[in-house]
Structure 1
């Protein structure tokens, strides 16, 4: 599905009305009052930039990082949020700015004009003339959630989970056990989503210690909670289904897949089969299943019908999620293409960059080359190079060493280079080489797996020799 996707390059490289870029300025640090640089974003127009909603709700905007007193927080600023699909136009003016009413109205009016000017004539409606003011930033966030159908009760429940997360992050191991026992009913999928999002935000902000603490707490909560126990059981069933499909390899046929799906003991197993072998679950697959249902009777007919409905819902969800992910990826790539500060934009967007994004990026580089657009190729290549720099920066030492060894032309050169760096060979490197070799072989990359296995042998020999000398 990814490989078939390509949006027209001519449409996004030269927008008629570019999204209002953030403003580079300086503000007084709220703590020490010294001037600090900040990238100020005041307009969050979801209609023009779908990623704006995520940035706004995550609070990852207008961030102050004072080099003098180490204060970290948000710069106070007038904000406008717009979502044309929901006819939602909100404004917020912090009281601390102390602006006269007339000046507030002028500033908000300027931002609203930016919104209106980007809309086609047929989408300019009455709500645009009356932005709804929020008295607090949290109130503005609540209105956005309410427009999504999330009630105050649901928001209160989510805040309670966030508060529980904060308590767990500052608790000792024994206190974590007690807190989990006391609040087991609150610990569910939403709780772990909040924790994961917080860890991603911390990592994106460069706070590796906080991100690692959140991962440690997540593992402890999984170990002690009822949800964690259920999660492990589900994971075991899914992993068993994955191993079964991997063992079949090229021998997996639509008929064999149907047998596996129909014999599956849980919805989790069905989901694993369907998601991993989605191309086989096509129109012919459903026709064959329908014929089985027509031949069945009684309880078996009802069971097969229920299973078919489940498979249909799962395929629809998978396809919808894939489509939404591609749309998000397209929006992110547009944002990076148009970003005035590419390095900063890449760092802020790091949590969203995955294999899907890289596949779409490579597709567009190839399309730009074919279309004879050297300026677009240069910009997209700069994005690709920047991503690889980020990956290299954040990679553990053993991964960096493995990448360097894989870049060498021959196996002999890679082995010689590893032997020359014997002081960098650790048990962690040996484990990494073994894991990566197995993983690449399972994914059909036999050439790279062969090299890693040879390097694994060299590294293991070095570790054993070092231990023998002790």
Structure 2
């Protein structure tokens, strides 16, 4: 059960020997998860646009780029037409040493490919996942991010990259020129001339989340909750240790925590990892019994079940409306009615 990489998680779980382990679950729609391994891929040539030659971002000549491993898509879904397709970079897994090819984006244009926004916010862009052990690593590649909706252009230069300031500025300039060549002259705005530079990935993600109304404080709390979940998972069979951790960090177990836990369960079930999902559900049940937020959630769920049990085939629309109106006026009415509406939707349609 240990090793689940959750949205907002800052660090991969450690084994008893102190070595990073991972079961490889990377949830696509959570808060930024940036593993602790920061792997610099072999130099990858920036993507060429039609009719132009690109210059390698690294000082030394790049090795031939392998075919890019495109982001995984569900069966039957159409392939995404990237304005700036990713290149392929050869990666050696720091966990099991398996070599593999990972997709590396040098430019992400959210105006042309808005579907990449959730992947970017969720930490899935330039994230390598080992096909052998599923360990996830953030790839240390320079990247330009264009968000025309918010008039925002960001240049990310990884910390520790083997380039000096002059090289970094050259790479930023090259990527900016590549982007500008694809934008009609009449649509070029002033912010495109001065990209904001970021040397820390988390700072960049905080900035992007800010456009969504999410504050750094909210992100930090989410990260702390993810880390708490990682600590709790191995303690399911140790009542004493579980109680000690909850005594210290129980304030993080709130409605948002349970929502995150539910999201993780759904993600695991969707990937067919039923055993891992069962472990999370067991933890959820334990926390519902041992925490204040859990007991409140259980009380609300019991209330919803009781109301739903009163609904039969003979229940009329008027009677159902009366039940909903009464429930709305009571404590946690909005949450109870919301749950009732989802569960009783088929009957409402029938009426």
TM bucket (normalised to shorter chain) is 0.5 to 0.7
Give the aligned partner of residue 173 of structure 1: 238
Q: What is the rounded CA distance, in whole Å, between the counterparts of 1:58 and 1:78 in structure 2?
A: 18
Question: In the alignment, does 2:304 pair up with 1:241?
Answer: no
CA separation of 1:79 and 1:278: change in aligned 2, threshold 3 A: same
Aligned alpha-carbon RMSD (Å): 4.0
CA separation of 1:158 and 1:261: change in aligned 2, threshold 3 A: same
Question: In the alignment, does 2:301 pair up with 1:258?
Answer: no
Helix, strand or coil at the partner of 2:160? helix
**Given that residues 241 and 272 in structure 1 are in contact (C-alpha distance below 8 angstroms), is that contact kept between their aligned partners in structure 2?**
no
Give the aligned partner of residue 337 of structure 2: 270
Helix, strand or coil at the partner of 2:219? helix
Q: What is the rounded CA distance, in whole Å, between the counterparts of 1:150 and 1:202 in structure 2?
A: 25
**Given that residues 80 and 89 in structure 1 are in contact (C-alpha distance below 8 angstroms), is that contact kept between their aligned partners in structure 2?**
yes
Give the aligned partner of residue 84 of structure 1: 148
Q: CA deviation at 1:233?
A: 1.3
Helix, strand or coil at the partner of 2:85? coil
Q: CA deviation at 1:51?
A: 3.6
TM-score (normalised: structure 1): 0.47
Q: What is the rounded CA distance, in whole Å, between the counterparts of 1:244 and 1:33 in structure 2?
A: 59
Q: What is the rounded CA distance, in whole Å, between the counterparts of 2:199 and 2:324 in structure 1?
A: 53
Q: What is the rounded CA distance, in whole Å, between the counterparts of 1:145 and 1:101 in structure 2?
A: 27
Gaps of 5+ in 2: 1-77
CA separation of 1:149 and 1:270: change in aligned 2, threshold 3 A: closer
Q: CA deviation at 1:102?
A: 4.6
Q: CA deviation at 1:187?
A: 0.8
**Given that residues 181 and 225 in structure 1 are in contact (C-alpha distance below 8 angstroms), is that contact kept between their aligned partners in structure 2?**
no
Provide, for residues 170-212 of structure 1, a one-character-per-residue CA deviation record: whole Å limited to 9, x for no partner.
3243122332344332211222333345556667788776555
**Given that residues 203 and 211 in structure 1 are in contact (C-alpha distance below 8 angstroms), is that contact kept between their aligned partners in structure 2?**
yes
**Given that residues 84 and 108 in structure 2 are in contact (C-alpha distance below 8 angstroms), is that contact kept between their aligned partners in structure 1?**
no
Gaps of 5+ in 1: 1-12, 282-442, 444-470
Q: How does 1:380-395 map to 2 (within 5 A)?
A: none
Helix, strand or coil at the partner of 2:323? helix
Give the aligned partner of residue 135 of structure 1: 199
Provide, for residues 374-413 of structure 1, a one-character-per-residue CA deviation record: whole Å limited to 9, x for no partner.
xxxxxxxxxxxxxxxxxxxxxxxxxxxxxxxxxxxxxxxx
Q: What is the rounded CA distance, in whole Å, between the counterparts of 2:262 and 2:120 in structure 1?
A: 17
CA separation of 1:203 and 1:144: change in aligned 2, threshold 3 A: farther
TM-score (normalised: structure 2): 0.61
Q: CA deviation at 1:103?
A: 4.3
Helix, strand or coil at the partner of 2:102? strand
Q: What is the rounded CA distance, in whole Å, between the counterparts of 1:47 and 1:91 in structure 2?
A: 16
Q: CA deviation at 1:23?
A: 2.3
**Given that residues 84 and 109 in structure 2 are in contact (C-alpha distance below 8 angstroms), is that contact kept between their aligned partners in structure 1?**
no
CA separation of 1:61 and 1:85: change in aligned 2, threshold 3 A: closer
Moved more, 174-183 or 132-141: 174-183
Question: In the alignment, does 2:129 pair up with 1:93?
Answer: no
Q: RCO higher in 1 or 2 (8 Å CA, sep ≥ 6)?
A: 2
CA separation of 1:273 and 1:123: change in aligned 2, threshold 3 A: farther
Helix, strand or coil at the partner of 2:90? strand
CA separation of 1:208 and 1:27: change in aligned 2, threshold 3 A: farther
Question: Greater helix share, 1 or 2?
Answer: 1
Question: In the alignment, does 2:210 pair up with 1:146?
Answer: yes
Q: How does 1:369-448 map to 2 (within 5 A)?
A: none
Question: In the alignment, does 2:107 pair up with 1:40?
Answer: no
CA separation of 1:180 and 1:95: change in aligned 2, threshold 3 A: closer
